[in-house]
């Protein structure tokens, strides 16, 4: 309990913290947090719910043995990618690490294709050859899906390099975690991005644990928004559980990058409810801590409350949304369960062009 309180309080103690969360209290939007209109709340609710239900289903299917290997669920962090995507425009690219299902869904990639990739079937987005950590979509400007912690930061900087080279006005949204933030190539990339004023927004999803290592045990500087200071890269800490705060910060950051001012860092203070992967012993944090985050800061619950109380939607209307989302997820699961495995001939394809 003491641990939970300290952890929950840590986020609120940072001087640069834009949110107003304090020990054990419900995080309220800061006065400058923009309000969403009804459509925005509905859209965010729908998109976050899809990720939540999809990931819950993935967890079930993993338990049934339909998904193998590593499977990293995004549950709890939905507001980050959904809020960011709301501020993008067509052509902006997204790249992330291995906790990537939510990003793919938020980019509009087909849930059936994602789920069938998780089950290693021929209808998967990578024909079953990539798996949970490796999916891509040129059409949706999603560049993976990378399994080497931190590698996507250099790659995402390269996407920005290409935007700069082509002068196309697009911005690269490069996601990584608090764990990856300690990799050397992150700072090599920060340096080049700042030096060449590349249009990239670095989104550090600080979910407080790199696998099982709390940020305080791994990071000398736990304010990740300051990680670009020596390169002159502006950064801010954002309440990553509040989709409105994420969206507002995303607009500032993307505008900065798009207008030729160079990179921008957003530290998203978020939380993952589930383990690092499916085989997480969960010994590094208390059940109370997790329960408290779920009860008091859940990103979806926040929007749901606004829809009910602010926008006066009925429970039935929300149930209708919920069942539509469940239907999409069930269809995806159904497809991913019955789609055949790749043809053995696929073993030797797609190695070289």
Partner 1 sequence: MAIDILMPALSPTMEQGKLAKWLKKEGDKVKPGDVLAEIETDKATMEVEAIDEGVLAKILVSDGTDNVAVNTPIAVLAGEGEDVSAAASSARAPAAPAPEAQPAPTPDMQAEGLAQRPAPDGIQGTDVTPVAEPAAPAVITNRTTHDAMAEIPEGTEMVTMTVREALRDAMAEEMRKDGNVFVMGEEVAEYQGAYKVTQGLLQEFGPKRVVDTPITEHGFAGVGVGAAFTGLRPIVEFMTFNFAMQAIDQIINSAAKTLYMSGGQLGAPIVFRGPNGAAARVAAQHSQDFSAWYSNVPGLKVIAPYSASDAKGLLKSAIRDPNPVIFLENEILYGQSFPVPKLDDFTVPIGKARIHREGKDVTIVSFSIGMTYALKAAQELEKEGIQAEVIDLRTIRPMDTDTIVASVMKTGRCVTVEEGYPQSGVGAEIAARIMEHAFDYLDAPVIRVTGKDVPMPYAANLEKLALPTVAEVVQAAKAVCYR
The verdict on 192 binding partner 1 (CB under 8 A) reads yes
The verdict on 125 binding partner 1 (CB under 8 A) reads yes
Among positions 57, 99, 121, 127, the unique one binding partner 1 when judged by CB under 8 A: 127
The verdict on 124 binding partner 1 (CB under 8 A) reads yes
The verdict on 344 binding partner 1 (CB under 8 A) reads no
Rounded to a whole number of angstroms, the minimum distance from the CB of residue 317 to partner 1 is 38
Helix (H) or strand (E) holding 184: helix 184-195
Q: Which residues contact 258 (CB under 8 A, 6 or more apart)?
A: 169, 170, 171, 199
Phi first, then psi, for residue 128 (nearest 5°) are 85, 5
The verdict on 231 binding partner 1 (CB under 8 A) reads no
The verdict on 126 binding partner 1 (CB under 8 A) reads yes
The verdict on 211 binding partner 1 (CB under 8 A) reads no
The structure tokens 């993993």 sit at 62
From CA 84, how far away is CA 246, in angstroms rounded?
Answer: 6
Among positions 83, 102, 111, 156, the unique one binding partner 1 when judged by CB under 8 A: 156
The verdict on 3 binding partner 1 (CB under 8 A) reads no
The verdict on 191 binding partner 1 (CB under 8 A) reads yes
Among positions 82, 114, 116, 155, the unique one binding partner 1 when judged by CB under 8 A: 155
Structure-token pair, residue 59: 């967890």
Nearer to partner 1, 151 or 181 (CB): 151
Among positions 31, 138, 283, 287, the unique one binding partner 1 when judged by CB under 8 A: 138
Write down how long the chain is: 353
Scored b (16 or more CB within 10 A) or e, 294-305 reads: eebbbbbebbbe
The verdict on 169 binding partner 1 (CB under 8 A) reads no
Among positions 3, 16, 195, 320, the unique one binding partner 1 when judged by CB under 8 A: 195
Q: How far is CA 45 from CA 189, 250, 300, 304, 305, in A?
A: 34, 18, 6, 7, 10
The verdict on 350 binding partner 1 (CB under 8 A) reads yes
Restricted to residues 85-114, the positions that interact with partner 1 (CB under 8 A) are 93, 95
The verdict on 353 binding partner 1 (CB under 8 A) reads yes
Among positions 154, 207, 222, 270, the unique one binding partner 1 when judged by CB under 8 A: 154
Our CA dihedral for 136, 269, 55, 122, rounded to 10 degrees, sits at 10
From CA 81, how far away is CA 202, in angstroms rounded?
Answer: 12
Cβ–Cβ under 8 Å, residues 77 and 239: no
Our CA dihedral for 202, 207, 210, 212, rounded to 10 degrees, sits at 180
CA nearest to 272, candidates 97, 39, 36: 97
Binding residues vs partner 1 (CB under 8 A) = 93, 95, 124-130, 134-138, 143-148, 151, 153-162, 165-166, 184-185, 188-189, 191-192, 195, 349-353
């Amino acid at each position: 309990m003491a641990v939970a309180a300290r952890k929950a309080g840590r986020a609120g103690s940072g001087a640069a913290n834009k949110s107003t969360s304090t020990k054990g209290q419900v995080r309220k939007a800061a006065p400058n947090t923009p309000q969403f209109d009804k459509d925005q709340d509905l859209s965010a609710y729908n998109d976050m719910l899809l990720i939540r239900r999809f990931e819950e289903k993935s967890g079930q299917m993993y338990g049934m043995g339909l998904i193998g290997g590593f499977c990293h669920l995004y549950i709890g962090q939905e507001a980050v990618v959904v809020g960011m995507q709301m501020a993008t425009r067509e052509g902006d690219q997204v790249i992330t690490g291995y906790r990537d299902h939510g990003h793919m869904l938020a980019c509009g990639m087909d849930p059936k294709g994602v789920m069938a990739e998780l089950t290693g079937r021929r209808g998967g987005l990578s024909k079953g050859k990539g798996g949970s950590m490796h999916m891509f979509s040129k059409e949706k400007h999603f560049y993976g899906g990378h399994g080497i912690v931190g590698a996507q930061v250099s790659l995402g900087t390269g996407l920005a390099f290409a935007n700069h080279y082509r002068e196309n006005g697009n911005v690269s949204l490069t996601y990584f975690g608090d764990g990856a933030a300690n990799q050397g190539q992150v700072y090599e990339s920060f340096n080049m991005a700042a030096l060449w004023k590349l249009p990239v927004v670095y989104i550090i999803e600080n979910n407080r644990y790199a696998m099982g290592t709390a940020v305080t045990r791994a990071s000398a500087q736990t304010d990740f928004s300051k990680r670009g200071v020596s390169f002159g890269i502006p950064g801010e800490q954002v309440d990553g559980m509040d989709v409105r705060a994420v969206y507002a910060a995303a607009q500032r950051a993307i505008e900065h990058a798009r207008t030729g001012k160079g990179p921008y860092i957003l530290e998203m203070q978020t939380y993952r409810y589930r383990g690092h992967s499916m085989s997480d012993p969960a010994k590094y944090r208390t059940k109370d801590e997790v329960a408290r985050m779920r009860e008091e800061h859940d990103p979806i619950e926040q929007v749901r409350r606004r829809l009910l109380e602010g926008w006066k939607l009925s429970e039935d209307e929300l149930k209708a949304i919920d069942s539509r989302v469940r239907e999409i997820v069930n269809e995806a699961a159904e497809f991913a369960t019955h789609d055949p495995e790749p043809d053995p001939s696929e073993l030797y394809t797609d190695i070289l062009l």
